[in-house]
Chains A and B, each alone.
Chain A
Amino acid sequence: MMAPSRGQRRAVVLLLLLSVVLITLDHRGEAFRGVRSAAHTVVDPAQAGVTTLVAPVGRFFGGFGDLGDSGQKIDALQKENAELRRQLRESELSSTRSEELQKLELLSGQGGFTVLPAVVTGLGPSIGFEWTITVDAGRRDGLRPDQTVIDSDGLVGRVKQVSESSAVVVLAVDPGSAVGVRVAGRNALGVAAGNGLGPLTYTPLDPTTRVQVGDRLLTGPYGGSTYVAGLPVGEVTKVSGDPGAPAREATVAPYVSFASLDLVGIVLAAPRADPRDRLAPSPPAATTPEHTP
Chain B
Amino acid sequence: MRAGPGAAAALAILVAVVLQAAVLSRLPLPGGPPNLVLVLVIAIGLAGGGSAGLAAGFGAGLLTDLLSDHPVGVLALCFALAGLLAGLLDADVRRSVLLSVVVVAVLTGAVYLTYLGVMGLLGQPVADGAAGVLGTIAYDVVLTPFVVPLVMAVTRQFAPARRGL
Contacts and interface: CB of A to CB of B under 8 A. Distances in A.
Interface of A: 1-5, 7-8, 11-12, 15-16, 18-23, 25-27, 31-32, 35-36, 39-40, 43, 46-48, 50-51, 54, 121-130, 132, 134, 160, 168, 170, 174-176, 194-198, 259-260, 292-293
Question: What are the nearest 7 A-B pairs in CB distance?
Answer: A22-B73, A122-B21, A196-B128, A19-B77, A128-B32, A123-B25, A126-B68
A134 B67 CA distance: 9
Contacts of B75: 126-127
Nearest to A48: B22
Contacts of B72: 22-23, 25-26, 31-32, 35-36
B165 to A, nearest CB: 12
B82 to A, nearest CB: 11
B21 A47 contact: yes
Given A16-B77, A19-B77, A43-B67, A27 B26 contact: no
12 contacts: A20-B73, A26-B72, A32-B72, A40-B66, A123-B26, A125-B68, A126-B64, A126-B70, A129-B132, A132-B68, A260-B28, A292-B28
B73 A26 contact: yes
Nearest to A3: B88
Contacts of A27: 71, 122
Contact of B67 (A40, A259, A293): A40
Interface string B93-127: 00000000000000000011001101100101111
A214 to B, nearest CB: 25
Contacts of A4: 50, 84, 88
B69 A15 contact: no
B115 A127 contact: yes
Interface of B: 14, 17-23, 25-26, 28, 30, 32-33, 35, 37-38, 50-51, 54-55, 58, 62-77, 80, 84, 88-90, 111-112, 115-116, 118-119, 122, 124-128, 132-133, 136
Contacts of A1: 88-90
B71 A197 contact: no
Nearest to B25: A123
A196 B36 CA distance: 21
**Could you tell me the dominant secondary structure of chain B's interface residues?**
helix
B125 A125 contact: no
Nearest to A168: B69
Given A40-B67, A127-B75, A47 B22 contact: yes
B73 to A, nearest CB: 3
Contacts of A122: 21-22, 25-26
B88 A125 contact: no
Contact of A125 (B28, B67, B90, B122): B67
Nearest to A55: B22
